[in-house]
Structures are given as C-alpha cells and as structure tokens.
A and B are shown apart, each in its own frame.
Chain A
Amino acid sequence: MTHPTAVLGVPTSRPAAGSPVLTVSDLRVSFPGEAGRVHAVRGVDFTLHAGETLAVVGESGSGKSVTATAVLGLLPDDAEVSGSVRLGDRELLGLSDRRMSAIRGRDIGMVFQDPLSALTPVFSVGTQLVEALRIHQDLTAAQARERALELLDLVGIPDPRRRVDAFPHEFSGGMRQRAMIAMAIANDPEVIIADEPTTALDVTIQAQVLEVLRKAQEVTGAAILMITHDLGVVAGMADRVVVMYAGKPVETGTADELFATPRMPYTIGLLGSVPRLDAGDRTALTPIEGTPPSMVDLPAGCPFAARCPVAVDRCRTEEPALRAVTTGAAHATACHRAQEIDAPGGIPSPGMFPTPASPRRPGGLPRAERPEVLRVTNLTKHFPLLRGSVFKHRVGTVRAVDGVDFDIREGETLALVGESGCGKTTTMLQILDLAGRRAGSVAVLGKDVGRLDGRGRRELRRDLQVVFQDPMASLDSRMPVGDILAEPLRTHGWDRARIAGRVPELLRLVGLLPEHAERYPAEFSGGQRQRIGIARALALDPKLIVLDEPVSALDVSIQAGVINLLDELQAELGLSYLFIAHDLSVIRHIADRVAVMYLGRIVEAGDVEDVFARPAHPYTQALLSAVPLPDPRKERQRRRIILQGDLPSPADTPSGCRFRTRCPKYRDLAPAESGRCDTEDPAAGVLGEDHSAACHFAAALEVL
C-alpha cells in the first residue's frame, strides 16, 4: 500500500502509534433549559491514542454526542464548558473561533450521523470537498479538484470523474456518507470523530461504510473517536470502549473486557437487552426497567440506582467514581459493588436483571390448519416517476411493489424485512388502504377487500389495526391519552359507559396505569408512548396488527420491554402481527416467519429459524452477514459478505433476476450459468416445509 502522505499529499509529522493524541479530562457541559440548567456532560475523561478506535457508547441523552461536539468546539454559544480537551499538547477549550477553525477539518475530521442533512443541499459534492481542501491547503482550483477525485476514489465512489459534480440529493445514503468520510480525511487529520456514522443507513450499506472508515483510518493513521449506541458496531470497530450514562462514563475498558466481563450493572443490562441475531430459541429479552434520570436535577447518588436491580443504600446517597477494577488495570467502572459482581459468593451477572418468563403459547393447531388472517396475492403497486419542478412530466414507472404473495395465519407473526426502498412500506400501505385501487388482491380474514362496500370496509377496520414507528408523531400531542384511546371506540359507536370501562383496561394491558389517561403524550417517555400507540391499536380487539418499525425509534434498553410486551399480548389475545422492520435481530426475537424483500419482490420467505440458520438466497445471506454482533470475538472471526454498490432504482429494475447486479454468487458463476440470471426472472422455489427462495442457484449457507 502507498504511504499515507503520498495518497493525501499532505506532509505531516505523525505522532507515533500509541501515543496520546486527544486527551479529554473532567469535561463538563451544561445548557440553559426550560426547566433549569441541563447538565449534559458531568465529568468525562478519556485519552485517545494514535491509530486506535475508541467508542463512546450510550443511549439517547447520555451525553455522548455533546462530548464529541464539545471536542470540536461546536456547542451553541449558551453552553457552559469546563475541563480540558487537549490535542497533542494544545489546549482546545477556550480557543477563539478563528484559532479553532484552523484545527477543525485539518487536525480533527468529523463524520456526522445523517449524511443527507449533513451536506449542503445546494452545492455539489465536489464543490464541498474542494472547499474542505482549500480551507486548509494552498491549492489551486484544478489541484484541489484533482485531489477531490482521488479522495472520492479512495472512499469507493464509483466513477468519481462523473459523480464529482453531482448534488447530495443525487447520491444514495451510503454514497453521501462516503463523501462525508472523504471530507473528514481530506486534510489527513490526526483524529476522526464519527458521530453515529451508520445509524441512518441500512445494514448492508452500514457494512460498506464501516469498511470505508477502516480504510480511511489505515490510510491516514488517524485515531477514531466513534460515538454510537449500537453495540454491534462497537464490537466490530472499537479497540477500547467508554460506556456513558447520565453524562458520565460508567465503565471503560478494552472492547474484549467490556463485552466479556462487564462490571457495571448498566453495561450488563445493556448487553442483556440487545436482541441478538445469533440467539437460539425465541426467548424474552431482558429490559432495563425505568428511564434515564432527568439531567436537570439529578438525584443524589448513582444516577443508575433507580433502575439497578442490585442497588444498595449507599448507591442512593453517594455517586461512585470511576475506579480501576483491579489496581492498575485499564478496565474501570463506576459502581460501588463492582468488586462483588461475578466474584465468588458475590452477585452473578447472568440473571442480574430479571428476565420475564417467555409467554406460554397455546400449542394449538399446526400452521396449515389455522385460519388465514391475511392473504396477499400478486400485490403490485407502480407509481409514475415524475420529473421537473417547473414542468412536471412522467418519465418512467417506479415498481415499488411488483408481485408480492404471502399469508399470515392466526396467532403468528410474519416479519416483512428489507432495506429502504425495497417496497415494504408500500406493501403495508396497500394492505391498510382497504379502499384503494390496486393490482393483485388483499384478503383480510378471508374477505377480499377489493369487493367490500363502505360498510364492510368499516367493519373490517376493527380487525385490522396499526402501530406506527414514531411514537411522538403518531400521537396527537394536544389530546390526553384517555381521549387518544377512546377515539377508535367512539368512531365505532361505543357508548360512553363502555368506553370509560375499556380505557383503563387498555392502559393496564400495556403496562401503564389507569390514571395515565389524564396525561398528555409529552409527559411520557418514548417507550411509554409506544405502549400508548399499542393500546390504541388494541382498543377494538383486532385480529391483525400491522407493526411498522415499532421499536426502531427506541433505545435498546427500552426496546426490549416493548418487544416483550408485543410477545405477551400476542400469546394472551391470540393476535396476528405483520411486522415491518429492517432490524434482523429484532425480527429473530419476535417473528415466527419472515419474508425478505428486495426491489419490490419477496426473495426468500419461511420459518424464521430456517431462514436465519440456513439462508438460501444470496441477498438474505448478505443481509444477515452484514448485521454486526455485539461480541468482539465473534465479530473478528466472521467473514462478511459485502454487497457491492447500492440498491438499483425501482424505476429501472435489472432484467432477469433483480438482484444479479449486486449478487456475490452471480459474479462467481460460469458465463453459461449466469446467462440464466440475466434473462430469466427466478420464481420462488420451495426448499423446505416452510422455506422458499427466488434464486436459480439457491443453496443454504451459514453466515452467523
């Protein structure tokens, strides 16, 4: 490989590998808030060494992003910052904007979360990259452009000469994030700060982008400070980890130590609550009860005490400091009882957090004998592709859903999974929109919705309900919870007395209290709001609930509780779920059957255990292999199938097999064989009792 400075053309004197490049000590940040001062960061210490990757992990509100922003000096003016941030031997806190600007982008590169909003929409990618170069380097326009092309090539933008003048909206999410990384490494920084760099991306794209980030680190030799909530990503990327809770590090150590022998109950709980793709049977997840404390007036003592199953009186009065687990060790934790955890005769970490019993499912009838709740046959939805703002005109057809078949039987969960743009949302909307015109047929409880009249459709709405992704946006913030729950009942003509009885019942059903009916959605946490959304869906005693990414907006520790709730409700009420999701680990936990979508088609479907253990379609295999496991050792050993490129536009689907343009198997086929993929659209082939895949060369492959 070329020497880094040759690639980037910036002669720099590098700090030797292993020497500290960024030292943060006793960093504290507070903001004025409506309820009082918000103490977002309350004393963070860490050292980032040359060439290493340090992950700062935490849930929303833990102060991890504020820490990163403080390092860059980009906090709003009203933030109060104290402590010290040293880059090499320069103190960064308190530098003027002018001095700090000379460091930002040159010594510290930054990759933000959402690559769409993080690039200026009105300038081309090339312009923005050239700007990043010319701020810090004395280059002519032509030289800078040349360098920009090299950088785009380095981060894997295909055909950079053509793409350099494209605007951000013409790039896919993955490509935009690649461009962000190119910008971050443009001036060969010593430190790259990546704030949730892959959170907004699909798993297969996440795998690509993490690969690019690793390459960027290799080329620049930079240290990476990675801010993330995803323990899987941490396991695959980080050398060392800092776990944050309520504005403070509560545990630090090498990734191996932290994942193998966590010593802080919060870390233990967090690791336990993550749904795992490599888990065996469908078991209940272990949630961490409660919610993180308010950062305005923190209670005395350990901020985690209220949620900690092993808290003692001391925990409620005295906040523990971060101490080495054994003298001199790098592994440190802020817990009074750290010495007891997993010690002989102490507190064993497995089972520390109570796992609810898995709901007992009625053994019931075999699948084939249970009644059909939903049957979708050859569902097709095409949209006209319009162009132009001044003059709208049709230039093509977007085949959002292009012939989808599946069925759901009573009491089971079918997960519809796929990456953005695969058509899962359109499929869902087609099912929910009973009245709409469509090609193909949708039958709910055996009734073809196309043949129903208005009255019949209204009746059917009772049996078909939906829970949306965003628990904030899907509840009217001006309605008390009681009214939100009563609304579907009133619509369907329930009288006042029956409604008054039903509302408390619903609240109890989802683990809330009847007196919560008086409150407004804003008074609830995200997890509680999602419970309200579920209660609303349950109000009319439906048979089928469509769950549209119901937990993807929630933190893992909260998510586990909601998943368990859905599981219990299903067992108790005999519900059927259509679960729309992109998170395969969640699906493994909740679904009985899974259907994998790609470009408007189902490419593989069947029993979850079968599909996950023996995926037969190359796309399913790639999808599963792209999901990072929260286990550093396993992560290091896994061979990842990295898909090339992006999802083709559904307006321009490839001939023959739709997946062939990205298919790893197709590339290895002999021309005689691959010709079949070019011309012949594969039909779903049966592989097992309940397992089918639409691939000419379907063959099981273990990828976990």
Chain B
Amino acid sequence: MGRYLLRRLGNYAILVFIAASATYFLASFTLHPDINYLSKNPRPPLHSIYTILHGYNLDPHTPVCLRYWRWLTGIVLHGDFGRTYDGASVNTELGRRVLVSTELLFVATVLGAVGGVAVGAWNALRQYRPSDRVSTILSYVLLATPVVVIAVGLRTLDTAGDGPLVQYIGMYDPKVHGTLPVVLNNLEHLVLPTLTLLLAQIPFFSRYQRSTMLDVLGSDFLRTARAKGLRRRQAVLRHGLRTAVIPVMPLVVYNVVLLFTGATFTEEIYGWHGMGEWLVDSITSNDVNAVAAVAIFTAGIVLIAGLLSDLVYAALDPRVRT
C-alpha cells in the first residue's frame, strides 16, 4: 500500500510540475506586471519601475527562461513562491488566503454535503409527492441561477428593511475589538456567504443523491432488510442511505475540495479575501507569480481530491477494497 501511495504521489508531483510550468509560461507571455506601474499617476520613472520589477523576478527584459529558472529554483530549493507585483511575499499571501477560504468554506461544505444528501434522500422517499415536486423545481431554479445573482439577491433581501440584519462585508467589522466580539462578529459575517454557497451546493448534491437513492429504494437488499423485521424508516436509513451515498461521495469530495478556488463570486461579492478571489484578482492585476502560485495550488488540490475520493470510496464500499 505504502509503495503504491508513494508512486501515485510521485506521479502527482510530475503532473503538478507540468501544470505549474505551463501556467508560468502562459502567464509570463500574456500578463504584464509593468502596467501596474506604468498606469500610475504620476508615472514613476521607467528605470526605477524595471529595477523594482527586476527585484521581484518580473522584469520583462529578463529572458523568460531565466525568470522561469529563478522562479523554479526558488520554489524547489527554498519553498519560495516569489513576490507579488508590489513586492509582498506570495507565500504569506497564499497562507493567509488559504486560511480565509478554509474558514469560509468549512461550514458551507459540511452543511452543503450533509444537507444535499439529506434533501436528496428525503425527496427520493417521497418521489412524485408535492414536496418532491416543489423541491425539484426549486433545485433547478437554484441550479440555473448564477451564484452572482444569488449572492447579490441575498444582500438585497437583507437591506430591504431598516439597515442590514446581519453584517456581511469582509470577514469582520474592523471597528469591533476584543477576542470574543471579533469571533462573534466574524461568525455574523459568515452567515450570508455560507447561505449563498449552501443554496448552490445543496440542490446540486441533492439531485444526485435523489437518483442514487431511488435506485436503492427498489433494491432487493432493502426488501431483505424489511423482511428481517426492520421498519421502513430503519431499513431505509441503515441499509438504503448507507449504500446510496457511496456513488455520490466522489462528487462531493471533488466539489468540496475544488471549491477552494471555485468560490470566486461569493468571495468577491462578500469581500472575503480567499483563494477564489485571488484566482481572478491575480490575473486582473497582471501578477505572474501569484497566478503561478494559484495554479500550483489548484493543480495540487485537484489531484488530492482524486486521491481523497478514491480513499473515501474504498472506506465506504468493501467491494472495491481488498
């Protein structure tokens, strides 16, 4: 097992390397960090602009291969992802943003997965009843609604009355002081973005869960479970849901993991400076090293999601173990 795990991780390292290098070259050719300085008013002298950029390994006059080599050796030898266009450490920024995204997404993904599975299973049990039909229509409405619309819509709802019910811009109100008030204020700020993510995630998972659950509901083993004397509800929960959740798990794992860089709109709209926001911001700000760092991160989590999903599958389904 260990040997295969190592081999698989080795393959992953190669894939991440290829993805990251390709992104680095692409970003270097298409993005122009000097624009950030050239467009400043008053414009700093050209000479100093390129000296600054040279210090960040972003000088367009340095051959791209040389820049690539410096970037690569920086990562491999020192674990240093370089500097952003304005001189900040990419590593620090990355670390901070991963934490922000983790906080934002943890509750949303856990609730989203559990909620999606529960709603899907419940719908399947009540197939074609009014609750199922309403839920189906609602799911498709939500699935068809872009996250932007949901996010902005929730904000509007909130300000319909006399001022906001909950605060939502940024992670917390900078005017609040003291540990406990900051934590509480932070949680308050979490409400709307979490809700936004849930409204996108729950319908998505629930549709899949509903259909796998429907397959299981007609299955022979559920009939056996009831023939043993389990009541309908017990049989469905213990034997049905446990089996029906297996095929949904890879989907859940992939979505949860990839949301790290996928919650772009939610982060942008609610002012959370997480990875999703960075993905877009780094490109609009022509920030080559940041783009490359996001690419490495994304490539890494895609592969981890694959591994994780296989492991979760094997943990749930004895048939694929051995």
Q: Which A positions have Cβ atoms within 8 angstroms of B?
A: 72, 74, 97-98, 101-106, 108-110, 112-114, 117-124, 128, 131-132, 135-136, 167, 169, 180, 183, 187, 387-391, 393
B169 within 8 A of A: no
A118-B319 in contact (CB<8A): no
How many angstroms from the CA of A131 to the CA of B225 in the assembled complex?
A: 9
How many angstroms from the CA of A121 to the CA of B317 in the assembled complex?
A: 8
Residue among B232, B246, B311 with max Cβ neighbours from chain A (10 Å): B232
How many angstroms from the CA of A123 to the CA of B316 in the assembled complex?
A: 10
B141 within 8 A of A: no
Q: Which B positions have Cβ atoms within 8 angstroms of A?
A: 1, 4-5, 7-8, 219-221, 223-232, 239, 242-243, 246, 307, 310-311, 313-314, 316-322
A389-B313 in contact (CB<8A): yes
Residues of chain B within 8 A (CB-CB) of A121 are: 221, 243, 317-319
Residue among A106, A128, A387, A391 with max Cβ neighbours from chain B (10 Å): A391
Residues of chain A within 8 A (CB-CB) of B220 are: 112-114, 117-118
Residues of chain A within 8 A (CB-CB) of B226 are: 74, 101, 104
A98-B231 in contact (CB<8A): yes
B4-A393 in contact (CB<8A): yes
How many angstroms from the CA of A124 to the CA of B7 in the assembled complex?
A: 31
Give the shortest distance, in Å, between A645 (CB) and chain B (any CB).
21
Contact residues of B: prevailing secondary structure: helix
Complex: chain A residue closest to B311, CB-CB: A390
20 more A-B residue pairs beyond the given contacts A101-B226, A121-B243, A123-B239, with a C-beta to C-beta distance below 8 A: A101-B229, A101-B230, A105-B227, A106-B229, A113-B220, A118-B220, A120-B243, A128-B228, A131-B228, A135-B228, A167-B319, A169-B318, A387-B322, A388-B4, A388-B322, A389-B310, A389-B313, A389-B320, A391-B7, A393-B4
Knowing A112-B220, A390-B4, the reply to whether A122 touches B231 (Cβ < 8 A) is: no
How many angstroms from the CA of A131 to the CA of B242 in the assembled complex?
A: 15
A135-B230 in contact (CB<8A): yes
A119-B224 in contact (CB<8A): yes
B228-A390 in contact (CB<8A): no
Give the shortest distance, in Å, between B206 (CB) and chain A (any CB).
21
Residues of chain A within 8 A (CB-CB) of B246 are: 122
A122-B1 in contact (CB<8A): no
Give the shortest distance, in Å, between B2 (CB) and chain A (any CB).
10
How many angstroms from the CA of A486 to the CA of B288 in the assembled complex?
A: 62
Residues of chain A within 8 A (CB-CB) of B307 are: 390
In-complex Cβ contact of B224 among A106, A108, A110, A187 (8 A): A110
How many angstroms from the CA of A52 to the CA of B219 in the assembled complex?
A: 30
Give the shortest distance, in Å, between B250 (CB) and chain A (any CB).
11
Residues of chain B within 8 A (CB-CB) of A102 are: 229
Residues of chain B within 8 A (CB-CB) of A132 are: 228-229
Knowing A74-B223, A119-B224, A122-B243, the reply to whether A136 touches B229 (Cβ < 8 A) is: yes
Residues of chain B within 8 A (CB-CB) of A110 are: 224, 227
Residues of chain B within 8 A (CB-CB) of A117 are: 219-221
A101-B4 in contact (CB<8A): no
How many angstroms from the CA of A74 to the CA of B223 in the assembled complex?
A: 7
Give the shortest distance, in Å, between B128 (CB) and chain A (any CB).
10
B223-A112 in contact (CB<8A): yes
Residues of chain B within 8 A (CB-CB) of A118 are: 220-221, 223-224
Complex: chain A residue closest to B216, CB-CB: A120
Knowing A117-B219, A117-B221, the reply to whether A135 touches B310 (Cβ < 8 A) is: no
A105-B314 in contact (CB<8A): no
Knowing A97-B231, A135-B229, A167-B319, the reply to whether A391 touches B4 (Cβ < 8 A) is: yes
Residues of chain A within 8 A (CB-CB) of B219 are: 117
Give the shortest distance, in Å, between A19 (CB) and chain B (any CB).
24
A391-B229 in contact (CB<8A): no
B318-A104 in contact (CB<8A): no
In-complex Cβ contact of A104 among B228, B319, B320, B322 (8 A): B228
Residue among A102, A112, A124 with max Cβ neighbours from chain B (10 Å): A112
B228-A122 in contact (CB<8A): no
A391-B8 in contact (CB<8A): yes
Residues of chain B within 8 A (CB-CB) of A97 are: 231-232
How many angstroms from the CA of A97 to the CA of B235 in the assembled complex?
A: 12
How many angstroms from the CA of A121 to the CA of B219 in the assembled complex?
A: 11
B314-A390 in contact (CB<8A): yes
How many angstroms from the CA of A121 to the CA of B222 in the assembled complex?
A: 11
Residues of chain B within 8 A (CB-CB) of A120 are: 221, 224-225, 239, 242-243
A72-B227 in contact (CB<8A): yes
Residues of chain A within 8 A (CB-CB) of B311 are: 390
B316-A122 in contact (CB<8A): yes
B322-A122 in contact (CB<8A): no
A-B contact pairs, 13 of them (CB 8 A): A98-B231, A101-B226, A101-B230, A108-B227, A112-B220, A112-B227, A120-B242, A121-B317, A169-B318, A388-B4, A389-B320, A391-B5, A391-B8
Residues of chain A within 8 A (CB-CB) of B221 are: 117-121
Give the shortest distance, in Å, between A132 (CB) and chain B (any CB).
4
How many angstroms from the CA of A108 to the CA of B227 in the assembled complex?
A: 8
In-complex Cβ contact of A112 among B5, B224, B314, B319 (8 A): B224
A105-B228 in contact (CB<8A): yes
How many angstroms from the CA of A393 to the CA of B7 in the assembled complex?
A: 12
B314-A389 in contact (CB<8A): yes
How many angstroms from the CA of A114 to the CA of B1 in the assembled complex?
A: 34
In-complex Cβ contact of A122 among B4, B224, B310, B318 (8 A): B318
How many angstroms from the CA of A98 to the CA of B317 in the assembled complex?
A: 30
In-complex Cβ contact of A105 among B5, B229, B319 (8 A): B229
Residues of chain A within 8 A (CB-CB) of B322 are: 387-388
